[in-house]
Amino acid sequence: MSLLRSVARELKNDFVGAATTPLDLYRELRYTAAGVRSGEISPMRPLKTAGLTLGALVAVLTLLFPIYWILISALSGTGGSIHSVDGLRLLPEKPSLQPFIWVIGDLILPSYEIGLGIPFSDSTLVFNTPGFELLDASDYGVESPSGFKKFFWNSLMVAIPTVILGMCLIVPAAYALSRREFIGRRKILFGYVLLTQVGGGLGIALLIGLYTVFVQVGINDNKLALSVYYAATAVPFNTWLLKTYMDGIPVSYEEAAVVDGAPAWRVVVEVILPLSKAGLATVFIFTFLTGWTEFVVAQTLLGTENYTLPVGLFSLVSEYSVPWARFSAFALTFASPIMLVYLFAQRYIEGGLSFGGMEG
């Protein structure tokens, strides 16, 4: 609970921080300007800052150019294409948000009737919640919007159990590996480091075997089973990552808690976990991403009704034609939550990935 509250607080701080950034920038500008005018600050300095910032911006934009290019095609009102004969184009042709609207579809919250029986009487209070019509796709000429919302829901239904299960497997293991000495500890650690990457490319032949097993057990086309699979693949890397992070937490906190009379599990819950926040956030994002972006296994195991977003994305592509505008719009919409999450979790992820325990 307090964890949630602290997350909320951090979020608030981030928002405030983000909101005051322009203000700070303005203050700096004013201060520098005043300094330059009075001759205290040589004009080279702000110029150098501006130049370097600009350089960085150019570098970042160059890196992101493919994304921008996708965006152009997503905003194109003419179906878009990544093959454009008409030369390098930096603005979309006949710009239109239609592809995005097609992706999102209607956003209509239907009105519900809520009846509240009043105790000891026969009467019922009836409320009608107002219906919200945020976006009606047909207003924009989109007749049959994509299945994005359904896929999104499916993806959530896969990703959430993946994260929950993954965390349940990873956190205790990471703790034990970081703080306890037991038989095989080093072997397991070593194995985990080895296995962090091996496996991804085992190939599709594997998949058939895997699928057959799933069918045998009767859990194919089951989102939960897929989650279990994802959680399993996420185990080695993330366990190792979290363990490394936990290594960086000073033992004295634990000792203080032990001397304070806390039993082991409370030490973990009250001290280790809150202090591993950054590591947990990183692991959280990585396990989430596992389930969110994986395509091949999901496509093999899931039936049409259970398609997750990546599979849904690829069901847009038919043998010969790619509807680029919609395809791109779909992909970008799909990636946007991750971007947002990262924007806010950035500090933690950068902290969580710092391999605190790795001494050089």
Partner 1 sequence: MATVTLDHLRKEYDNGQIVAVDDVSLTVEDGEFVTVVGPSGCGKSTTLRMIAGLERPTDGRIYVGNDDVTGVHARKRDVAMVFQNYALYPHKTVEQNMAFGLRMSTDLSKDERRETVRETAEMMGIEDLLDQKPDELSGGQKQRVALGRAIVRDPDVFLFDEPLSNLDAKLRTTMRTEIQRLQNELGTTSVYVTHDQEEAMTMGDRIVILNGGELQQSGVPKEVYNDPANEFVGGFIGSPSMNFLTVTVEESGGTTRLVGEDGFEYGLTDERLRNAVRGREQVRLGIRPEDVRVAEPGLDAVETTVEVIEPVGSDNYLHLALGEDSIARVASDVEPDTGETIHVSFDPSDLHLFDASDGESLLYEAERSATPTV
Partner 2 sequence: ASVQENGETTTSGDGAGTTDGDDSTQTETTETGPAGTAKAWYRLQNTELEARKEALSQFNADSKHTIEGSDVSDLKKKTTSAIPAGQGPHVFDWAHDWVGDYLQRGFVVDRSDQLNVDLNTFTDAAAGAVQFDGNVVGLPYAAETVSLVYNKDMVDEPPETVADMKSVMKEHHDPQNGTYGLSYPFDPYFVSAWAQAFGGYYFDPDKDPQLGLTKSETVKGIEFALDNLKPYMPKDPSYGAQAAPFSEGNAAFAINGPWYLTTLKEKGVNFGVASLPKLESGQPRPLTGIQMWYFSKAMGEDGADTAAAQSFVEWYVTNEDLLTTAAEEHGSIPVLESLSGSDALPSDVQAFSETVSQGVPMPTHPKMGKVWQPLTDALTKVYNGDAGVEPAMKQAEKTVRENWE
Partner 3 sequence: MSTVSRVAGRVEEVPFLEREDASLLLVLPGLFVFSAFMLFPILYLLGISFTNAEPATLFAGDGAMSVLTFGEASFVGLRNYVTILTDPNFWNSFGITWLFVATSVTLKLTLSIGVALIVTGDRVRGKRLMRSLIIIPMGLPAIFTITVWRGIFSSAEFGLANQVLDALGFASVSWLSERWMAFLAYNVTEAWLAYPFMVIITVSALQDVPEELHEAAKVDGAGYLARFLHVTLPSIKRPVLFAAILTAAASFQQFLIPYVFNQGGPARANELMVVYGYREAFTYFQYGQGAAISLVAVAFIGAFMWLNVKRGKLADGVGDT
Q: Which spans of this chain sit near partner 1 (rule: CB under 8 A)?
A: 6, 27-28, 30-31, 35, 40, 42, 250, 252-253, 255-263, 266, 270-271, 274-275, 277, 360
For partner 2, the binding residue among 215, 256, 264, 269 (CB under 8 A) is 215
Sign of CA dihedral 193, 196, 201, 204: positive
* Residue 218 binds which entry of partner 3, partner 2, partner 1, none, CB below 5-8 Å type-dependent: partner 2
2-9: long-range pairs with CB below 8 Å, 24+ = 2/274, 3/273, 3/274, 3/277, 6/274, 6/277
Measured CA to CA in angstroms, residue 333 lies from 144, 147, 263 at distances of: 18, 13, 46
* Residue 274 binds which entry of partner 3, partner 2, partner 1, none, CB below 5-8 Å type-dependent: partner 1
> Total residues at the site for partner 3 (CB under 8 A)?
114
Nearest to 306 by CA among 190, 224, 214, 194: 224
Residue for token digits 């005018």? 37
Neighbours of 135 (CB within 10 A): 15
Identify residues 14-73 at the interface with partner 3 (CB under 8 A).
25, 48-49, 52-53, 55-57, 59-60, 63-64, 66-67, 69-70
Identify residues 112-151 at the interface with partner 3 (CB under 8 A).
none
For partner 3, the binding residue among 8, 97, 224, 264 (CB under 8 A) is 264
- From residue 265 to residue 304, what is the string marking binding to partner 2 with x (rule CB under 8 A)? ----------------------------------xx--xx
For partner 2, the binding residue among 5, 38, 40, 83 (CB under 8 A) is 83
53 lies in the site for partner 2, by CB under 8 A: no
- Residue closer to partner 2 by CB (options 221, 270) is 221
> Cα(147)–Cα(142) distance, rounded to whole angstroms?
13
Q: Are 244 and 355 in contact (CB under 8 A)?
A: yes
- If phi > 0 it is left, if psi is from -120 to 50 it is alpha, else beta; for residue 94 that is left
Report the alpha-carbon angle 44-46-48, nearest 5: 65
Please classify residue 339 by burial: count the beta carbons closer than 10 Å to its beta carbon, then call 0-12 exposed, 13-18 middle and 19+ buried: exposed
Report the nearest approach of partner 3 to the CB of residue 118 (Å): 49
Classify 127 as helix, strand or coil: strand
* Residue 222 binds which entry of partner 2, partner 3, partner 1, none, CB below 5-8 Å type-dependent: partner 2
Identify residues 308-337 at the interface with partner 3 (CB under 8 A).
310, 313-314, 322, 327, 331, 334-337
For partner 2, the binding residue among 32, 222, 293, 354 (CB under 8 A) is 222
- Residue closer to partner 1 by CB (options 157, 273) is 273
Q: How far is CA 55 from the centre of its chain?
A: 29
For partner 3, the binding residue among 1, 19, 118, 339 (CB under 8 A) is 339
| CA-atom Rg of the chain in angstroms | 26
Report the nearest approach of partner 1 to the CB of residue 163 (Å): 22
> Cα(313)–Cα(306) distance, rounded to whole angstroms?
13
* Residue 331 binds which entry of partner 2, partner 1, partner 3, none, CB below 5-8 Å type-dependent: partner 3
262 lies in the site for partner 3, by CB under 8 A: no
> Total residues at the site for partner 2 (CB under 8 A)?
37
Q: Following DSSP, what letter does each residue of 45-102 receive, concatenated?
A: HHHHHHHHHHHHHHHHHHHHHHHHHHHHHHTBTT---S--SS---SS-SSB-SHHHHH
- If phi > 0 it is left, if psi is from -120 to 50 it is alpha, else beta; for residue 87 that is left
Interface residues toward partner 2, by CB under 8 A: 78-79, 81-87, 144, 204, 207-208, 211-212, 215, 218, 220-222, 299-300, 303-306, 311, 314-323
